[in-house]
């Protein structure tokens, strides 16, 4: 009987044999014969690819194992709080990142080799939203050191740096030239993607730690001199982001109604821009351009807008719209153009799909060649042409030109820093240089993190801030700056876990010349931590252990083109606890034991055994009796997570 298509797509199986092997061998013929390699099991911790792909370096496997119930919290701590603490060890914004991070971790997930990635983002949102509901707070028990750091910029990087420094016992003062903290979270991303209720709570949770002072509406370089910071602080971290957008590199791009994507979004997020133009064209293809066109569709336009209140005047900061305009607005025509074909656009695929559903016209594989202006110098159209790559450079195809009528042109093709008053730090490209430890070269006591180094993801800025904080700590405490590990993430630490469970190894007492540790309590026997050097790939796993399991996909509220006008509600519906636990349960726990018992069940010699319950914890679930082990390799072959290597021996 043939296998149905449905079964092939939903009941996956994996062969343990390589392609081309056709002869079946009976393992039973040799199962009781010793191996000749003289190797026995070693339990090896490696970094999973989700974490290796995360620019923040979050212990993703760790908090997924907590949510699913594999790793148990200490007494008196709920699963939700324990997962929150593990998640925020690297990133203090789980609610925000669960919503807006493009999730490179999911691209790296080994579960993609089975059927589909684990919905890491959705579980992180569950952790963050639950932390808001339960009012979890950060640990601020580290005694203050007396050291104080000036942090210039109150966005993701600056706030993450303040958070990590306070955990080390250092105070900070955060300077920001906005009226509120948040940076790109608040001013560069629409509020329906970063709901203010959750964002403000995650910011306040950092401030509630104490030792974090804030000075708003204060611009360093003009309101405050750099020399004053150097005199009054032990170190300075530059986390000013990139809020100057690049203009289009075409003639007439300096027309007054040609604006940058970051300026457009800031005007919207401040609430000063209540409506946009009748015909909006955004040039881009990345996430910022998607936010621009989605906002433009939601804002719409009104036909009676006074000339002095045209969008470019609001975006320029000269006037603000009356909120009453919102009641009179109609839908606007919005077009997004991209240099690359849709499949190659850098924006997330689902964001592109959402924009299409909301009524945005997307024209891909085209490039702007000229802004057409009227006799007053205002843009009235954008001349486009089909694009081809010649020697790696976009080149217009001759004879393919056409025009898009427009009242507002938004350029979302890149960003740079606003270094007015800070010219001494400008590397010539509107950015600040950094070494591998996030020190500013040639500037003693100055450090840098985030987009001002190179515009990238929010999670990248947060990860840089964590490393930067460690560098600042070493600098202020005059300690040795150690070499960063090859896999530079926030690793699971077995010794910390043992200490938490009151199972820490005893002190070493020399008794005899026996160097074995299998019966000793001063060492963690038969365990090796390679997580700082190795990321475990899917070919180390026994994929045949994992049956098909459909994703638990969170719901989205994406309006249609008819519904989008004035639609500013949160788009992502969080998973329920049951759904979050089920989705976390799809994690294959790559590189760490998840207590499946395969090695215990399949060991023909009963050499592999469970550790006694009162001695058991994550990473210490099984052990091996070397006096029984014959090195048959079966435990390693059937280990789903790749946690068992054949290495140590007893011969």
Query: Using one digit for the tens of pLDDT, what is the confidence trace for 290-310?
Result: 999 999 999 999 988 899 999
- DSSP code of residue 407: S
Closest CA to 292 of 305, 282, 304: 282
Instruction: List pLDDT tens digits, range 138-156.
Output: 999 999 999 999 999 999 9
Please compute the mean of the pLDDT values over residues 187-194 and round it to a whole number: 95
Please compute the mean of the pLDDT values over residues 416-422 and round it to a whole number: 93
SS3 43: strand
Least confident span in 14-18, 359-363, 638-642: 14-18
Cα 523 off chain centre by: 36
- CA–CA distance from 648 to each of 515, 590, 626, 630 (Å)? 13, 21, 9, 12
Domains of the chain: 24-134+492-646 (no CATH), 148-243+417-476 (3.50.50.60), 245-415 (3.50.50.60)
Helices (H) and strands (E) in the chain, counts: 19, 21
pLDDT at 513 over 70: no
**Structure confidence at residue 30 (pLDDT):** 53
pLDDT at 456 over 50: yes
**Structure confidence at residue 27 (pLDDT):** 54
Is the separation of the CB atoms in 644 and 43 below 8 Å?
A: yes
Please compute the mean of the pLDDT values over residues 541-557 and round it to a whole number: 93
Closest CA to 247 of 393, 67, 443, 414: 414
**Structure confidence at residue 327 (pLDDT):** 86
Extended beta strands in 450-579, E state? 527-529
Is the separation of the CB atoms in 624 and 610 below 8 Å?
A: no
**Structure confidence at residue 651 (pLDDT):** 42
Closest CA to 160 of 460, 380, 413, 397: 460
**Structure confidence at residue 516 (pLDDT):** 64
Is the separation of the CB atoms in 253 and 168 below 8 Å?
A: no
pLDDT at 18 over 80: no
The full DSSP string for 589-639 is -TTS-----HHHHH-TTS-EEEPPGGG-BTTBSEEE-TTT-----HHHHT-
Least confident span in 26-40, 200-214, 425-439: 26-40
pLDDT at 518 over 80: no
**Structure confidence at residue 1 (pLDDT):** 42
Please compute the mean of the pLDDT values over residues 34-52 and round it to a whole number: 85
| Positive or negative: CA dihedral 580, 585, 590, 591 | positive
pLDDT at 21 over 90: no
pLDDT at 630 over 90: no
Is the separation of the CB atoms in 406 and 379 below 8 Å?
A: yes
Please compute the mean of the pLDDT values over residues 616-631 and round it to a whole number: 90
pLDDT at 345 over 70: yes
Cα 352 off chain centre by: 19
User: Is residue 647 very low, low, confident or very high in pLDDT (cuts 50, 70, 90)?
Assistant: confident
**Structure confidence at residue 258 (pLDDT):** 97
Beta bridge partners of 150: 173, 236
**Structure confidence at residue 522 (pLDDT):** 75
Strand order in the sheet with 41-45: 527-529, 41-45, 644-646
236 contact partners, CB below 8 Å, separation of at least 6: 149, 150, 151, 152, 226, 229, 230, 445, 446, 447
Report the mean per-residue pLDDT for the chain.
91
């Amino acid at each position: 009987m043939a296998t149905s298509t449905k079964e092939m797509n939903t009941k996956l199986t994996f062969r343990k044999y390589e392609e081309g092997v056709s002869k079946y061998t009976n393992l039973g013929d040799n199962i009781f014969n010793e191996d000749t390699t003289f190797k026995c099991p070693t339990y090896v911790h490696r970094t999973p690819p989700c974490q290796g792909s995360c620019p923040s370096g979050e212990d993703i496997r760790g908090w997924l194992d907590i949510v699913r119930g594999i790793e148990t919290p200490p007494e008196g701590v709920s699963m939700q709080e324990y997962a929150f603490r593990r998640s925020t060890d690297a990133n203090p914004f789980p609610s925000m990142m669960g919503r807006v991070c493009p999730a490179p971790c999911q691209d790296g997930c080994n579960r993609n080799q089975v059927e589909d990635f684990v919905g890491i983002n959705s579980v992180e949102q569950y952790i963050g939203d639950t932390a808001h509901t339960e009012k979890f707070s950060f640990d601020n028990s580290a005694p203050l050191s007396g050291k104080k750091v000036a942090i210039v910029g109150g966005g993701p990087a600056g706030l993450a740096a303040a958070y990590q420094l306070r955990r080390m016992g250092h105070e900070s003062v955060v300077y920001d030239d906005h009226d509120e903290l948040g940076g790109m979270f608040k001013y560069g991303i629409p509020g329906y993607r970063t709901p203010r209720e959750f964002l403000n709570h995650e910011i306040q949770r950092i401030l509630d730690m104490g030792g974090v002072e804030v000075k708003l509406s204060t611009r360093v370089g003009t309101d405050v001199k750099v020399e004053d910071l150097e005199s009054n602080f032990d170190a300075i971290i530059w986390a000013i982001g990139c809020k100057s957008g690049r203009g289009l590199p075409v003639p007439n791009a300096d027309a007054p109604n040609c604006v940058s994507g970051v300026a457009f979004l800031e005007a919207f997020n401040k609430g000063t821009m209540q409506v946009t133009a009748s015909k909006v064209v955004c040039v881009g293809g990345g996430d910022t351009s998607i936010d621009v066109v989605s906002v433009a569709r939601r804002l719409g336009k009104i036909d009676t807008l006074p000339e002095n209140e045209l969008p470019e005047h609001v975006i320029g900061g000269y006037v603000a719209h009356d909120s009453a305009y919102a009641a009179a607005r109609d839908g606007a025509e919005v077009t997004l153009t991209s240099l690359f074909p849709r499949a190659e656009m850098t924006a997330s695929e689902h964001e592109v799909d959402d924009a299409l559903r909301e009524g945005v016209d997307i024209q891909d594989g085209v490039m702007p060649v000229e802004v057409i202006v009227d006799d007053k110098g205002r843009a009235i159209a954008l001349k486009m042409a089909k694009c081809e790559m010649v020697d790696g450079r976009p080149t217009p195809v001759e004879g393919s030109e056409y025009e898009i009528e427009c009242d507002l042109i938004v350029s979302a093709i890149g960003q740079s820093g606003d270094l007015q008053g800070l010219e001494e730090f400008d590397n010539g490209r509107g950015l600040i240089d950094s070494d591998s430890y996030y020190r500013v070269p040639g500037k003693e006591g100055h450090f840098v993190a985030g987009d001002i180094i190179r515009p990238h993801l929010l999670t990248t800025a947060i990860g840089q801030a964590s490393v930067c904080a460690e560098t600042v700590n070493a600098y202020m405490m005059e300690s040795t700056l150690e070499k960063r590990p090859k896999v530079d993430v926030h690793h699971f630490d077995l010794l910390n876990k043992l200490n938490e469970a009151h199972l820490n190894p005893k002190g070493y007492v020399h008794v005899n010349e026996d160097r074995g540790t299998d019966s000793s309590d001063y060492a963690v026997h038969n365990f090796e931590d390679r997580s700082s050097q190795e990321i475990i790939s899917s070919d180390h796993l026994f994929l045949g252990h994992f049956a098909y399991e459909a994703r638990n996909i969170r719901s989205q509220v994406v309006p249609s083109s008819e519904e989008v006008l004035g639609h500013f509600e949160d788009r992502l519906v969080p998973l329920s606890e049951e759904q979050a636990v089920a989705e976390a349960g799809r994690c294959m726990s790559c590189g760490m034991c998840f207590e499946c018992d395969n090695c215990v069940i399949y060991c023909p010699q009963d050499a592999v055994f469970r550790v006694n319950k009162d001695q058991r914890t994550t990473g210490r679930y099984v052990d091996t009796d070397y006096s029984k082990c014959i090195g048959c390799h079966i435990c390693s072959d059937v280990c789903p997570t790749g946690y068992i290597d054949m290495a140590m021996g007893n011969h």
